[in-house]
Amino acid sequence: MNNIEIAWVFLEIADLLEIKGESPFKVRAYRQAAHVLAELDEEVAHYARMGRLTELPGIGAALAAKIEELLETGSLTYLEQLRREVPPGLRQMLALPGVGPHTVRTIFTYLGISSLEELEAAARAKKLRNLPGLGVKTELAIRHGIELLRSRPSGLPLGLAFPAAVEISEILSQLSQVQKVSLAGDVRRGEEIVGQIIIVAAVAPADQEVVLKTFQAAPYVRQTLRIEPGAITVLLGIGLEATLMTVPPPAFACRLCYHTGPPAHWNDLVEWARARGFELTPDGLRGRDRELQVFSEEELYHLLGLAFVAPELRAGRNEVELAARGALPELLRPEDMQGDLHLHSNWSDGTESIQGLARAAADRGYSYIAITDHSQALSIANGLTPERLVEQEKEIEEVRANYPQLFLFSGIEVDILADGRLDLPDDVLATRDIVVASVHSGFKQGRETMTHRILTALANPAVDILGHPSGRLLGRRDPYAVDLEQVLEAAQRYGKILEINASPERLDLSAEWARRAKEAGIKLAINSDAHDVRRLADMEWGVCVARRAGLTREDVVNAWPLERLRDYIRLRRERVYANS
DNA sequence: GCCGTTTTCGGCCCGACTGTTTTCAGTCG
């Protein structure tokens, strides 16, 4: 078992303990340990071998013993026992908005319900409203919540699926029997939610056996689900299916393109090829009189008279036509990013000092960052008061002196209050180099209220960037009810920047809305929203969203050099004051 | 569960909102 899988076990234990009604601190200890393991650079097995597990923060004797058992046996007696006491189906109920561990326990205790299906039936039969502590509203909320859950695409956020897919494919690539290997499907296209991992490998028929065996023994793999000719599907420990397609080496390029999809793009290619006298199938490309050798996907597009279409742009939209005209956008690349404009330090709920953030940013080759801690209303995050903001400014000054090559924006992530006012006075905000405004409360407001709230905030001259505009948490929380159409309109009118929050939990704006923002002439910022230095790397997920949205360097303000960005912010602010 | 220590157990981010009650418990961020 690797670190991530063990972290998943601890998260399950935490949920089950919570439903059981155990001490919240014990629950938190498991969650904390899961977090530590997931963020650990080295394999936890190393620490175990050296007997140094308890040196890890949040790992004591009890958790160390559980880690050792998992490493040695691949299973955990304690978890199995918990599962017998608390049916794992109850975990799904925790995902329902407004339903917490106590409500789940009540439902299970009184009605013996242990699955979403049973719960839905009970809600329809109006059996929930009479339980102690529940009422009609909760019953309706549960029905509504189940519908929402069903309407979500099933799968895992890209940030969880991608690292697993890469790790498995790298192991395959080391086999001498594997001539070529590539990710395909959702993961390769950078979809926000990955329904299934698909890996394509070029393998001679005689070598299939050993490749399949390696795949089945790869990290994350829990169990084999299906074996078909040329395809094997397994279930991963993170709850996702992964399929390995073994294809004859000469067919690799076409099969890779086919399995990368999506079907609409492939169909457009097939159509395009047919109209030009080719026959394109997953197994190869035929010219008028003969089979053509295709050595790579690039060559496939070239033979068809098309520019190479980056996987992120494949959607069956109009990309084939654009490729034919040589009119595809020159997509943003990770190395284009010059800085990060949304970071949290230990002044609020981040774990790293400003100095530490600066060092890590400099190491990444950034030329600027913005320190944007929370404002006072977010008390759980130790948000900053005007007084503490003044104190923080002094520390930022000191760090600036140590990093002359890195510009530090003194920023703030100010809360947008329930009525659209900001959580800090205008004169305080005016002292900051950059102001990100975000919603962190009152998620249940109606569409009109929420839209008005955000529009009010955008109209405030102090605001430079709207943070995570839709408020969604991938796979966990739907966007709040907001008319993004109107938000775009306002952003365009006031020259405001919209954020693509790159945290793999959010990816907000979505690619879809980022594309529309670009079309409306709005500039975007891709920000990691990191709370520790490791998460600076989340930038890559944001770049992925930007690529799917067809964004170029021009569209993204923190892909610009420092001077241009500062001018952009300064000019907008001056324009406002000139008009007022 | 872990941690730090006044070395053996008490403390562990907190406040707003909501729906259920009829004074508060549960959920959420």
Q: Which residue is nearest to nucleotide B17 (CA to C1')?
A: A442
Question: Looking at the predicted structure, is the pLDDT value of residue A64 above 70?
Answer: yes
What pLDDT is attached to residue A576?
Answer: 75
The answer to whether A251 CB sits below 7 Å from nucleic acid chain B is no
* Residue % of chain A over a pLDDT of 70: 99
Taken in order of first residue, the domains within chain A and their CATH numbers are 3-151 (1.10.150.110), 155-247 (3.30.460.10), 253-328 (3.30.210.10), 347-378+411-579 (3.20.20.140)
The answer to whether A199 CB sits below 7 Å from nucleic acid chain B is no
Pairing of strands A241-247, A279-281: unpaired
Nearest nt to A29, CA vs C1'?
A: B1
Going A449 to A455 to A460 to A464, the CA torsion angle's sign is positive
* Residue % of chain A over a pLDDT of 90: 92
Question: Looking at the predicted structure, is the pLDDT value of residue A579 above 80?
Answer: no
User: DSSP H helical segments within A261-296, as ranges?
Assistant: 263-275
Angle between helical axes of A61-73 and A3-20 (0-180°, round to 10)? 120
Across A520-535, average pLDDT: 96
Across A513-522, average pLDDT: 98
What pLDDT is attached to residue A580?
Answer: 60
DSSP A146-176: HHHHHHSPPSEEHHHHHHHHHHHHHHHHTST
pLDDT tens sequence across A221-265: 999 999 999 999 999 999 999 999 999 999 999 999 999 999 999
pLDDT tens sequence across A445-504: 889 999 999 999 999 999 999 999 999 999 888 899 999 999 999 999 999 999 999 999
What would you measure as the largest C-alpha separation in chain A, in angstroms?
79
pLDDT tens sequence across A489-503: 999 999 999 999 999
Across A528-556, average pLDDT: 96
User: Are the CB atoms for A240 and A197 separated by under 8 Å?
Assistant: yes
The answer to whether A54 CB sits below 7 Å from nucleic acid chain B is yes
Nearest nt to A445, CA vs C1'?
A: B17
Angle between helical axes of A3-20 and A77-85 (0-180°, round to 10)? 30
What pLDDT is attached to residue A517?
Answer: 98
Question: Looking at the predicted structure, is the pLDDT value of residue A195 above 90?
Answer: yes
How far does chain A reach from its first CA to its final CA, in angstroms?
62
The answer to whether A440 CB sits below 7 Å from nucleic acid chain B is yes
User: Are the CB atoms for A200 and A252 separated by under 8 Å?
Assistant: yes
User: Are the CB atoms for A93 and A107 separated by under 8 Å?
Assistant: yes
Confidence of residue A88 (pLDDT cuts 50, 70, 90): confident
Nucleotides of B under 7 A from a protein CB: 1-3, 11-21, 25-29
CA A9 / C1′ B8 distance in Å: 30
SS3 content of chain A, % helix, strand, coil (to 5): 50, 15, 35
